[in-house]
Amino acid sequence: MSFQSLLSMRINTSRNLPNGLGIQKSYQANLVDQPCMIQPLSATYSAQLNMVFGKAYNLFLPLGTDVIATDHITDQNGKKYTVTGSQLRNYGNSAPHATYIITEQVVGGPDI
């Protein structure tokens, strides 16, 4: 089984870039409909990274995909994440890929 066949999800990414108004920046579309795989981090690994279990995930992408720390990601179900770290991995010729740590963005509820 090839690595590409495991990429069953799709994401869109946006990046904080200058918006043409001096030094102001805003998030602008970067990648659209990018194949990927998202899996939750284990409780142990979440603790090692000092992250909240259940809100931190691994994002697997092909090598060379244009994603950097601080990018915002929206998956095919509308769930939003922020990229917090990356790691290149090479498991032979069939599975070189990049792994990113992403955290689920908290959606605020109504004020009480």
How many structural domains is the chain composed of? 1
Q: Is residue 61 part of a domain?
A: yes
Domain for residue 112, yes or no? no
Contacts of 61 (CB under 8 A, 6+ apart): 7, 34, 36, 67, 97, 98, 100
Q: What is residue 110's three-state secondary structure?
A: coil
Residue 27 is part of which domain span? Answer: 4-104
Tokens of residue 44, six digits: 């142990």
This prediction's pTM:
0.83
Would you say residue 111 lies in a domain?
A: no
In a domain, 110, yes or no: no
Q: What is the CATH number of the domain that holds 37?
A: 2.40.10.370
pLDDT at 63: 84
Q: pLDDT tens per residue, the chain (112 residues)?
A: 577 778 899 999 999 998 877 788 899 999 999 999 999 999 998 888 888 888 999 999 988 899 999 999 999 999 999 999 887 766 666 677 889 999 999 776 565 5
